[in-house]
Structure 1
Amino acid sequence: MIFRSKAPLRIGLAGGGTDVSPYSDLHGGAILNATLSLYANATIELLPENKIILHAMDRDEQEEYDWATSLPINGKLDLLKGVYNRIQKDYGIPEKGFRLSTFVDAPAGSGLGTSSTLVVAIIGAFTEMLKLPLGEYDMAHYAYDIERNDLKLAGGKQDQYAATFGGVNFMEFYGDDKVIVNPLRIRQEYLFELENNLLLYYTSTSRESAEIIKKQSKNVVDKKGSSIDAMHQLKEQAQQMKEALLKGKLAQIGEILDFGFQQKKQMAEGISNPLMEDIYTTAKAAGATGGKISGAGGGGFMIFYCPANTKYNVIKQLERFGGKHRHYQFVKHGLKTWTI
């Protein structure tokens, strides 16, 4: 039998970084994000031999082991191993050989939540195989716990919840890992217009988000005023974005994004760099009214709000940087699993 799953990647529209501890624990965080028609995919195929084969097809990496209740965390396909080890520990997986294959529609380190979304997809495939009693909040928190506590990877909380729930959500983050997901009922024509005007641009660079996030967290621990104030402003930005989308005030979105981008750069060193600044300036000169770096910063995807038909001129002007824009649609669904 074959067990499959897919979970959508996301773009953060406002509030990015306020979901990271210790800020969210001390002050509460708020983020507005939306899931896209780009996915992390996972497949488990049962094998006749007693082997465990792990295969990240998009990265052309494969590991093979004799069946065991725990696989070594050694820097090779650790996300796949981390999920297997935790589910084996908590629920038990029958001694049966299998191949776990994964594929992600965007590069690692691109700022669309690829790692966390992949963890959610892998959990989904095992949940489908083992019929585990996990609801949406359970699944998202489980993925977060595996990444942050088992694998010791620095990061926030939004990606796991976006991948699991799907759609456009206003998320609130509090101490003790409390998360509240508020789905937004946005009129379809507003979403179509946002989709039409919001350019998703890949800079053809990636980054290690964990290092930036560690700096951000340290700034909160050290009570660095400028960094904490910037996070307060980003939390307010999420409220502004929510109102603009719900009320159809789409002309304000570029300005809201621009405000957030300026605040985001105050959170930690390395969020922006000369290349990102040059791309941003060029996009605004070509007609974009605002934008941001997706994810923790330092590289990966950027988004730009391009009203009217300015998107096409922005695309043309950005050609000289060697990046490329990605076509997408907003999707309302989160994690999906099925059996063949």
Structure 2
Amino acid sequence: MAIGDALNVRARAPLRLGLAGGGTDLSPYCDEFGGNVLNATIDRFAYAHVRTNRIGALVLRARDVDTEEVLEPRVDHSIHEGLVLHRAVYSHMMRTYCDGVAVPLTISTTIDVPAGSGLGASSALVVALIEAFRSALQLPLGPYEVARLAFEIERVHIGLAGGRQDQYSAAFGGLNFIEFLPGDRAIVNPLRIRREYLNEFEASLVICFSGQSRQSENIIKQQVAGLKQLDAKTVENMHKLKQDAIEMKLALLKGDIRGTAEILGRSWTAKKATAAGVATEAVDRLYNEAMAADAWAGKVSGAGGGGFLMFLTDPENVYRLKQVLNAAGGQASSVKFTFDGAEGWPICA
């Protein structure tokens, strides 16, 4: 399939909060036991802009980290250096859908949150890049295909450590209970929550950037090593996280926000036991400040080691909780859920 002379498309994919079950989407756990993850996409996005250029080069830009590469248009650039996500998606799309012809393109991206956020930003970026090419080439790819391709590019081709939930949440959007089954199968189950329950849940939620970007790879490698060795403690805590996802789903469907908070706190305890470094000094400080300010419960989103925390509290206490967290060095805010997955559109100007 050929790319036209005046290609100019943009795409975005939502970031997510990992509510429960995170880690059970890792191999080898989900391959042997099956994983359950509950997550929700929020009003923070990864954006991709793909357009043809007249300078005959491959221009890759990550504006949020002020990085640019100007390369010869080729499909065989290393995907283990530079802007690896941009390079890997470009290479795959040119090889697979453009008959191996390396088209001169300018590919620019940005993300609404700092790197290492714990909100699935890198995977959402890969999904946004794929969605931009899907839109440009009118490819017959649904959200399952986009998510699966994003997983293959990020985890298999590049070899980055991590699970599967981020790609599926970004591709589908919404509040989902996702099952990860042996044989690399995934089933995305959107939750049909009554509007008043959803409003109360959203009104009770505060997210807070710890000020500390985290590198999840070491934590994930520790978790995977424990699973491969069938470390009893790691496996037991993964079982707890999996059950927490089921119980939190049921609590939300009933509108039991206090029950949801209870499970959130319990899940955080189990999460910390899966690997060293999940909780850091900065995370513990913010967590303790929040609990002293009448938060019901909290946990980190993602693998841990920094990034964003989430807390549930009485909606009438949200303003005070944000003030306390900001005074303690965090960056706290309210958040809104979103229900659309990745989407791409042509730019007419």
TM-score normalised to structure 1 length: 0.97
Amino acid at match of 1:171: I
Cα offsets for 1:53-77 (capped at 9, x unmatched):
0010111100001221222224311
| In structure 1, C-alpha distance between the alignment counterparts of 2:119 and 2:54, rounded to whole Å | 37
| Contact 1:287–1:311 (8 Å) recurs in 2 | no
Q: What is the aligned residue count?
A: 340
1:52 to 41, 58, 62: 58
Displacement of 1:180: 0.6
Structure 1 gaps, min length 5: none
Aligned to 2:232: 225
| In structure 1, C-alpha distance between the alignment counterparts of 2:20 and 2:12, rounded to whole Å | 25
Cα offsets for 1:259-306 (capped at 9, x unmatched):
000000111111112321221122111111111011000000000001
Deviates more, 1:124-133 or 1:28-37: 124-133
Q: Say if 2:254 is the partner of 1:247.
A: yes
Amino acid at match of 2:29: Y
| Contact 1:41–1:121 (8 Å) recurs in 2 | yes
Deviates more, 1:86-95 or 1:275-284: 86-95
Displacement of 1:95: 4.5
Amino acid at match of 2:18: G
Q: Say if 2:39 is the partner of 1:33.
A: yes
Aligned to 2:123: 116
Q: Calculate the aligned-residue CA RMSD, in Å.
A: 1.2
| Contact 1:70–1:88 (8 Å) recurs in 2 | no
The 5-angstrom pairing of residues 103-142 of structure 1 reads 103-142=110-149
Percent identity, aligned pairs only, is 43
Amino acid at match of 1:35: T
| In structure 2, C-alpha distance between the alignment counterparts of 1:282 and 1:326, rounded to whole Å | 15
Amino acid at match of 2:67: E
| In structure 2, C-alpha distance between the alignment counterparts of 1:275 and 1:202, rounded to whole Å | 10
Amino acid at match of 2:247: Q
TM-score normalised to structure 2 length: 0.95
Amino acid at match of 2:17: I
Structure 1 runs of 4+ aligned residues shifted over 3 Å read 93-96
Partner-residue secondary structure (3-state), 2:264? helix
Aligned to 1:69: 75
Cα offsets for 1:281-334 (capped at 9, x unmatched):
221111111110110000000000011412222222223331111343101100
Aligned to 2:321: 314
The 5-angstrom pairing of residues 119-268 of structure 1 reads 119-268=126-275
Displacement of 1:238: 0.5
Structure 2 gaps, min length 5: 1-6
Displacement of 1:94: 4.7
| In structure 1, C-alpha distance between the alignment counterparts of 2:250 and 2:68, rounded to whole Å | 46
| Contact 1:287–1:313 (8 Å) recurs in 2 | no
Displacement of 1:166: 0.4
Query: Cα distance 1:308–1:58, how it changes in 2: closer, same or farther (>3 A)?
Result: closer
Query: Cα distance 1:97–1:268, how it changes in 2: closer, same or farther (>3 A)?
Result: same
The 5-angstrom pairing of residues 14-33 of structure 1 reads 14-33=20-39
Q: Say if 2:103 is the partner of 1:96.
A: yes
| In structure 2, C-alpha distance between the alignment counterparts of 1:34 and 1:19, rounded to whole Å | 15
Aligned to 2:4: none
| Contact 1:47–1:96 (8 Å) recurs in 2 | no
